[in-house]
Structure 1
């Protein structure tokens, strides 16, 4: 079929080439175009008829060829089928025989394998029984060991834990006792601080403790009346040296004040962060401290029997700090009322300064006595030098006497040694002659 198509294409190509050749050589008249069209039509009809005839011929030839091929294939299959069938029958018979032999062998192998597997199974079961028994014994021993160790460990841990819990409970019990003691103390302190009179007594007691720790009892007195005819007495008066014989000492008045209500209102306002309340509380505290300072000035400051200033003691350090935070308050009180505001720390510094002043004054007063004592010591020291000189001479004389005695002792010792070297007989008696130089002077 492909060959036919290729032939037709070649014929058409030749026809087209011929037509092109004719057109190139005949360009003279328009009638040539008509002839060419007719020529193309005729040529197309011829080609179509030729193509149809060729296709018809090819179909017939193809049908005959297919028929012959079928017949040949049928003959070949027929001739090939009989040997194949015979061969297949032979192969089936051979396969059956082989299969029967294989079945027999397989049955034998299976029987042998079953017997071997049975023996292996028995051996494995015996081995497993032994292993299981051994493992059971070992596990039992391990269990007993673990139980013993676990029991001892648990008992030890329980003992330690119980001991620790007991100690903790004892500490908690002690802590609860201490907390109860603290609670009682806090309650007592609250009662003290809630009572104005008791609160004042507490501040006075704290001031008294500080003064007694630093000063001697001769250097201060309590409840001192600084003004004649007045019943007001300052809590503590420090004795300072006076000027002249009329005034032997001058009092330094120290009074304790504790404006707790104003201070508590200030703390509560600070906790609430209320600016207006803080300002009002600071102002109230400022007025209260000024009033206390004015009271000290009016009641207790009385120059020349007292110093021209007094001391206001605040028994709580935080209260003293709040007073110092108020701008210009301490300077104003010192300037207007001649009063120094102090807390527990600053009052100790002031008292220590006064104590150093007392010691310096005592040294100045007794300096003449010190010089007299030093003069006597100098005289006695000179006499002691004379005695040392005499003692030195006596020691030299004793040393000379001892050296002389030692020399005579050595001389006598030498003569005694010579006596031991001489032969001793009955008729001879050794005589030791002592010279005058061998005599030992005593005294």
Structure 2
């Protein structure tokens, strides 16, 4: 045991020391191992406690999460129900809106189709009116062309003017107030004479009018041609006015003025606008130039004069008729007075009949009540009966 086995730092290490050293080292190792095991056990216990604590916290958190999840599930169910109800309401509202919109669209389409149909019918009517107007325009164009042909001929133009004048006179005056183509003492036959009331002298109307100069005046293209046409108009119309004054103004037989009828308003307007001197010359020659409208107005004045004259002529007949009417009214009054007397007499007779009926009624009532009078007793007068209404409106008392 004392054998040296090792020298360390000058110290000889024996087997005993070596064994002791190994034993000490083993003890230290065991101690260290025990300490390490205890520390490890403590750490493991601490870790186990921490794990338990963490498990507990995890369980609490899981419980909280479970509660939150259940609450979320309830809320989600509530929200689902609310959304379901809202969705149902939304679907119902959308369906109602769609139905209303469909109805409005249908009504709008029906109204639009009805309005379109009405517009088409109106359009067809207007097209028919336009077709008729076009046809009338075509007819009028033909008439205008025929009128142009008529006016280009002197004889036909004179017949046209005379026809218009005769139509105006015939429509307004009675047949006895005018005469066409009447014979004058000079042997002339004017187109028309009009007889005024209270005057034996007729008013002469001439319907012929020179148109060639006016046609040239309207178609003139230059100043020279226009002046030439105006001179021709003055010459033609002046000569015609002079012929009327010479032929138809007969002192003591015709009126002091004669009428020159212009068959168109446009010709009369041209005369008044461009040939005032010619109009004044006609006035001085006692020839009155009139258009169709002026002749119509003059004829209407003459019609009123004729009517007033007829009224004055028939005044005595009117007075006689009024006298007869007054006599008839007087006779009607006398007969009404007689009829009133008859009604009064009938009313008095009816009153007496009612009085007698009251007496008979009272006596019948007494007989019915067995109220006989004693022999020799004086019969008392029946008490006055109450006034009874008369059918004729009067009341009578018992006598």
The separation in 2 between residues aligned to 1:420 and 1:261, in whole angstroms, is 121
- Residue aligning to 1:334: 283
The separation in 2 between residues aligned to 1:321 and 1:166, in whole angstroms, is 41
- Which of 400-409 and 207-216 deviates more? 400-409
The structure 1 residue matched to 2:231, chosen from 273, 283, 291, is 283
* 1:5-404 alignment runs, 5 A limit: 170=128, 173-228=131-186, 230=187, 232-241=188-197, 249-269=200-220, 274-325=222-273, 326-335=275-284, 337-404=285-352
Q: Could you say which structure has the higher helix fraction? A: 1
- What is the CA-CA distance between 1:241 and the residue it aligns to? 4.4
- What is the CA-CA distance between 1:343 and the residue it aligns to? 0.8
The separation in 1 between residues aligned to 2:229 and 2:301, in whole angstroms, is 34
Structure 2, unmatched stretches of 5+, are 1-105, 371-381, 386-399
The separation in 1 between residues aligned to 2:359 and 2:270, in whole angstroms, is 99
The separation in 2 between residues aligned to 1:400 and 1:201, in whole angstroms, is 84
- What is the CA-CA distance between 1:219 and the residue it aligns to? 0.9
Tell me the alpha carbon deviations over residues 214-264 of structure 1, each in whole angstroms, 9 at most, x when there is no partner. 101111111011224x2x311111123466xxxxx3221101123332222
Tell me the alpha carbon deviations over residues 67-119 of structure 1, each in whole angstroms, 9 at most, x when there is no partner. xxxxxxxxxxxxxxxxxxxxxxxxxxxxxxxxxxxxxxxxxxxxxxxxxxxxx
SS in 2 for 1:237: strand
SS in 1 for 2:205: strand
- Find the structure with the greater CA-based Rg: 1
Tell me the alpha carbon deviations over residues 255-281 of structure 1, each in whole angstroms, 9 at most, x when there is no partner. 112333222233334xx5x44444443
- What is the CA-CA distance between 1:387 and the residue it aligns to? 2.7
Tell me the alpha carbon deviations over residues 12-67 of structure 1, each in whole angstroms, 9 at most, x when there is no partner. xxxxxxxxxxxxxxxxxxxxxxxxxxxxxxxxxxxxxxxxxxxxxxxxxxxxxxxx
For normalisation by structure 2, the TM-score amounts to 0.56
The separation in 2 between residues aligned to 1:262 and 1:279, in whole angstroms, is 11
Q: Aligned pair count?
A: 263
The separation in 2 between residues aligned to 1:351 and 1:222, in whole angstroms, is 15
Tell me the alpha carbon deviations over residues 177-221 of structure 1, each in whole angstroms, 9 at most, x when there is no partner. 333322222222222222221111111010011001110111111
